[in-house]
């Protein structure tokens, strides 16, 4: 007799863990991890979400602990600095380093005392923080990390079973990587 997956999962963890979820970016980068945090909290864990200060009210709506990460993404998305980046302008080293250092310092503070760190693609420094603190960490991405035929690159609502469309979808990932690599190599020169 087959067991349903939900029947094989433990009802409660063997012990309550202090988990910090590090996420930076827009609200769209935060929201999926709030869903993850809800599940972790229901499983009995203590969850802190560490993200930009401007998202504190959103995080607190779910009754999570909140730890601020430097930077206001909403302001950044409307800034002249972003416009310069989109236009392909290279930043002066000190322009990018200042915010990154502030984010690293605030992320470090948020993670001290955590027993597990979950980090997102834009908060990849979470790995290094976990390593230094000697705690386990998990990379959690809501985007596929490898090409798939099920849906095109950044077109998740449009799944298909059609073999030709699957090939086109798979190709969209390859195309995005080629463009990304071309952009990286042109800015590195």
Q: Where are the domains of the chain?
A: 17-139, 144-189
pLDDT, tens digit (0-9, with 9 covering 90-100), for 11-63? 555 789 999 999 988 888 899 999 999 999 999 999 999 999 999 999 999 99
What average pLDDT does this structure show over 165-169? 75
The CATH superfamily holding the domain 17-139 is Glycogen Phosphorylase B; (3.40.50.2000)
Half-sphere exposure of 23 (CA within 13 A, CB side): 26
Residue 91: φ, ψ to 5°: -85, 155
The per-residue pLDDT for range 120-134, each reduced to its tens digit, is: 988 889 999 999 999
- pTM passes above 0.85: no
Using alpha carbons, select from 169, 164, 165, 140 the residue that is nearest to residue 154. 169
Instruction: Using a pLDDT cut of 70, give the percent of the chain over it.
Output: 75
């Amino acid at each position: 007799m087959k067991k349903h997956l939900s029947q094989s999962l433990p009802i409660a963890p063997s012990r309550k863990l202090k988990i910090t979820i590090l996420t930076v970016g827009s609200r769209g980068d935060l929201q999926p991890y709030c869903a993850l945090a809800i599940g972790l909290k229901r499983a009995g864990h203590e969850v802190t979400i560490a993200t930009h200060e401007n998202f504190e009210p959103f995080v607190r709506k779910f009754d999570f602990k909140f730890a601020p990460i430097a930077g206001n993404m909403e302001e950044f998305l409307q800034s002249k600095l972003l416009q310069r980046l989109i236009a392909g302008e290279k930043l002066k080293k000190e322009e990018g380093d200042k915010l990154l250092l502030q984010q690293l310092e605030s992320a470090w503070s948020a993670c001290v005392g955590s027993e597990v760190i979950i980090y997102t693609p834009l908060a990849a420094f979470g790995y290094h923080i976990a390593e230094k603190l000697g705690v386990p960490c998990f990379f959690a991405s809501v985007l596929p990390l490898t090409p798939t035929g099920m849906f095109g690159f950044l077109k998740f609502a449009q799944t298909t079973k059609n073999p030709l469309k699957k090939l086109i979808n798979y190709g969209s990932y390859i195309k995005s990587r080629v463009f990304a690599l071309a952009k990286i190599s042109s800015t590195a020169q």
